[in-house]
Structure 1
Amino acid sequence: MKLHEIYPFPEERVSRKRIGRGRGTGQGCTAGKGNKGQNARAGVSERPWFEGGQMPLARRLPKRGFKNYKFKIVYQPLNLDRLLAAFEGKTEISLDDIYERGLASAGALVKILSQGEVSAAVTVEAHRFSAKAAEKITAAGGKAVMLGAAEAEPVTE
């Protein structure tokens, strides 16, 4: 068996309609494009949302609210219970350790959240901490080290 012998067989294939190949094709002299106008020309590229010069829908509808997509800062949340379960018995948890264990995507901004209990003194490095998470870590005798603008400064509250 060869590649050209595999189903569908040649007699079952429908050949494409060849438009614009003269008057004998059954499409007439304009090849089904009508007479004149933008759509009759070669290389026509009308955008799908173009409304023929009418005021477009996106401009007709009222704009409301404030959009800040470009400058939005997104943190990957990480709960204390999951963090401490991954590093059981460890006293210092750096951001690189979090990335290596796959708890956050490499290079992502990480925020530690307060779900879970801290039983031992642990030093944790992250970009942000929730107030309760930082409180739990410091109450257990550890340190919450916040990275970013204030590089390696402990959170105190």
Structure 2
Amino acid sequence: MQLNTIKPAEGATHAKRRVGRGIGSGLGKTSGRGHKGQKSRSGGFHKVGFEGGQMPLQRRLPKRGFKPLGGHLSAQIRLSDLQALPVDEVDVQALKQAGVIGQPVRYVKVILSGELSRKVALKGISATAGAKAAIEAAGGSVA
């Protein structure tokens, strides 16, 4: 095999369609563009989603919802989650090792849900006002 003998496999290529070359070709006269209208003209072009001046679908429908960019970085845990932990000093790393929160999480907040009857010390974790009161009532601290 030499470089000058390389060619595509049999049936891999086909002749380019020649339009506007007479009635017998099947693509004479209008060259497969139909009759009149913007798309039949040379340079006839409109944007994706353009509906001929009618209000486009993406503008007719209401705007809805919002996903915060850093939403996956924060998490909430319950007092009952703290109750189940085997350690007394709780930080983000301890929660990750226990499998309470996911690995990408950086910010954790304790919410008032469930019961806490033992002493826990929070380090680098925030808490709601009710959760903080419940933790301090059980003899713990929030730092």
TM above 0.5: yes
Whole-angstrom distance in 2 between the partners of 1:30 and 1:46: 23
- The residue number in structure 2 matching 1:136 is 134
1:110 alignment partner in structure 2: 108
**Aligned residue for 1:155?**
none
Compared CA separation, residues 36 and 44, structure 1 to 2 (3 A): same
**Structural mapping, 1:80-95, within 5 Å:** 80-85=79-84, 87-88=85-86, 90-95=87-92
- What secondary structure sits across from 1:133 in the alignment? helix
- Counterparts in 2 of 1:31 and 1:136: CA distance versus 1, 3 Å: farther
* Corresponding residue number in structure 2 for 1:47: 48
1:123 is aligned to 121
Matching residue's letter, 1:92: E
In 2: Cα distance, 1:19 partner to 1:33 partner: 17
Aligned residue runs from structure 1 range 60-71, under 5 A: 69=66
Aligned pairs, number:
122
C-alpha contact 1:94 1:124 (8 A) present in aligned 2: yes
Compute the TM-score of the two structures, normalised by the length of structure 1.
0.54
Confirm or deny: 8 A CA contact 1:19 1:31 kept in the other structure: no
Cα-to-partner distance string for 1:37-90 (whole Å, 9 max, x where unaligned): 543457956312x12234446657899xxx9958787542211112331x22x1
In the alignment, structure 1 segments of 5+ residues that lack a partner are 1-17, 146-157
Residue identity (%):
36
| Structure 2 portions without partners, runs of 5+ | 1-14
Q: Determine which structure has greater relative contact order: mean sequence separation of CA pairs < 8 Å that are 6+ residues apart, divided by chain length.
A: 2
Distance in 1, matches of 2:44 and 2:17, equals 14
Structure 1 position 133, deviation (Å): 1.1
Instruction: Classify 1:52/1:136 alpha carbon distance in 2 versus 1 (closer, same or farther; 3 Å).
Output: same
In the superposition, relative to structure 1, how do residues 62 and 140 fare at CA in structure 2: closer, same or farther (>3 Å)?
Answer: closer
Q: Superposition RMSD on alpha carbons, in Å?
A: 3.9
